[in-house]
Amino acid sequence: MAPVTVGPCDRGLAAAAPHQGATRHPTGTLAATILGSSLAFIDGSVVNVGLPAIERDLASSGASGASIGWLINAYLVPLGALVLLGGVAGDRYGRKRMFLAGLAVFTAASLACALAPGFGWLLAARAAQGAGAALLVPASLALLGAAFEGEARGRAVGTWAAAGAITGALGPLVGGWLIDSIGWRSIFLVNLPIAAVAAWLAGRKVDESRADDSAPLDGAGALLATAGLGLATFGLTVLAASGGTEARSLDAAWAALAAGVAALIAFVVVEARLGARAMMPLALFGTRSFVGISVLTLCLYAALSGMVVLLPYLLIRSAGWSAAGAGAALLPLSVAMGLGSRAAGHLAERVGARLLLTVGPLIVAAGFALFLRVDAGPVHYAVDLLPALVVVACGLTVSVAPLTTAVIGAVDSAHVGSASGVNNATARIAGLLATALLGYVFASDASAPHFIGRFHGAAIVGALLALAAGIAAFALVAPPDAASRSRDRPAPAPTAAPSGRGRRRS
């Protein structure tokens, strides 16, 4: 899940944090933020290759193909719902303080995961990890934005993003080796020494910073978003894996889905009333380009998230691969994006983001179509999977790099932080919804031919989602000249008096 954990608009988030003077320890600040946020990136990717081992070990306490996806969604629900609130909390109470608080929560939750006696305990600890990550990731970017400025800020954020991509890429490989050699609990214990070093560096080398005009916390919005996403995810997960499910459980799933949708509608109502004080200002969606970018992000990251969760499960459970081998299978994605992102960014500056955001998802759709070549027999990586992964990687490289440019171009400079935060949250929510629907595939017998049929169905859905992302970009994202004129106009007026929050990241 490496490409998903590093948000698509990290540069915009850091750029929106006001510089608050030269830091006394720039190297220490950069190292602390890299180590702290890397914990979230590692655990956002390494658990994918651990799903079969955890399912097998905790089967007696409720882990099964129908429920195993919750190991990912229990992490993504609080992360997707609270990451915007975490950013505002850092502005209000201190970014270093929130960074250390997130680090403490994440570390304690990692230890709880490693010691989990049953599946329910493990899910609760994973949810706590997600809450810690919702504080860690935005705080680390805000600390960089406050400590650096100009070209130094760009280099710092670039180094931070590169380190996140590397750790996210190596996470499944190293985690797979740990699972094969020691056991799945070791992938959570490895967080402890990393967290200890990050906390020591943050305590000694990082300067505190906060916003003078920070917005009040949107507690009602955070509560409604968390409840809505959690209930909707539960309903979708049960319904997707409904084969053999009792009627009473299906009724509960439909009720949870309805309650989740109602909570999300209430969330939108609350955000509309709060206006500029909302953690997700609805005024951002007053421009066609931002709507198009949001639809593109939701569709493209849903397709990507589904693939990076399902593919290791297929290789381990159905094809008999080791966990380390399944983790290594995804390396082409991270390598291609790491090597090609800078060139794609420069190309977007020359031809405009709209063209790349249209063409890139179409390439991704073609790559998903190539996954249909996988059959029920032995999986030959070089023949069956590598061509599809290479095509998907090329499409993602073309698509993801211009996303930051497109988001910044869709709003005026005062709303870059809010827009970047919403786009990052959208990418994580997309992964949440995709994993919930994968219960349809996980619930089938991994050794039976119809599992491959369901895998093919997921590949078709992924191709259609990528196609929809390209269509959204072509139809809604403004061409370069129009985008430039749009930035010169003020954003739609919010319903409440501006609080200054839009000048910072969300």
297 close to 420: Cβ distance less than 8 angstroms: no
Per-residue pLDDT reduced to its tens digit, 276-298: 788 888 888 888 999 999 999 99
CATH number of 2-207+216-503: 1.20.1250.20
Read off the tokens for 179: 């699972």
- Ranges of H-type helices in 275-322: 288-313
Q: pLDDT: is 333 or 133 the higher one? A: 133
For 342-494, list the strands marked E by DSSP. none
How far is 67 from 119, CA to CA, in rounded Å?
10
Question: Does position 378 have pLDDT exceeding 90, yes or no?
Answer: no
Average pLDDT of the segment spanning 159-163: 77
How far is 170 from 176, CA to CA, in rounded Å?
10
How far is 76 from 230, CA to CA, in rounded Å?
10
Beta-carbon-side half-sphere exposure of residue 236 (alpha carbons within 13 Å): 18
Residues sharing a CB contact under 8 Å with residue 257, sequence separation 6 or more, in sequence order: 231, 232, 234, 235, 236, 239
Read off the tokens for 300: 């493209």
Q: pLDDT: is 448 or 83 the higher one? A: 83
Question: Does position 77 have pLDDT exceeding 70, yes or no?
Answer: yes
Angstrom CA distances, 228 to 37, 78, 163, 220, stand at 26, 11, 33, 12
Length of the chain: 506
Per-residue pLDDT reduced to its tens digit, 451-495: 888 889 999 999 999 999 999 999 998 876 655 555 545 444 444
How far is 239 from 496, CA to CA, in rounded Å?
40
Q: pLDDT: is 497 or 11 the higher one? A: 11
Question: What's the whole-number average pLDDT of the chain?
Answer: 83
Instruction: Look at the block and give the residue holding tokens 């490989």.
Output: 173
Beta-carbon-side half-sphere exposure of residue 293 (alpha carbons within 13 Å): 35
505 close to 279: Cβ distance less than 8 angstroms: no
> In one letter, which amino acid is 333?
L
Residues sharing a CB contact under 8 Å with residue 397, sequence separation 6 or more, in sequence order: 336, 337, 340, 341, 344, 360
How far is 329 from 350, CA to CA, in rounded Å?
33
Q: What is the pLDDT of residue 242?
A: 73
65 close to 241: Cβ distance less than 8 angstroms: yes
Q: What b-and-e string marks burial along 396-433, b requiring 16 or more CB atoms within 10 Å of the CB?
A: bbbbbbbbbbbbbbbbbebbbbbbbbbbbbbbbbbbbb
Question: Does position 14 have pLDDT exceeding 60, yes or no?
Answer: no
How far is 85 from 437, CA to CA, in rounded Å?
26
Angstrom CA distances, 321 to 108, 122, 329, 335, 444, stand at 32, 25, 10, 21, 18
Per-residue pLDDT reduced to its tens digit, 237-272: 888 877 656 677 788 889 999 999 999 999 999 999
379 close to 385: Cβ distance less than 8 angstroms: yes
How far is 345 from 162, CA to CA, in rounded Å?
14
Residue 379 pLDDT level (bands cut at 50, 70, 90)? confident
- Ranges of H-type helices in 241-275: 247-274
For the chain, the straight-line distance linking the first and the last C-alpha, in angstroms and rounded, comes to: 23
Read off the tokens for 394: 């090329």
- Ranges of H-type helices in 206-240: 219-240
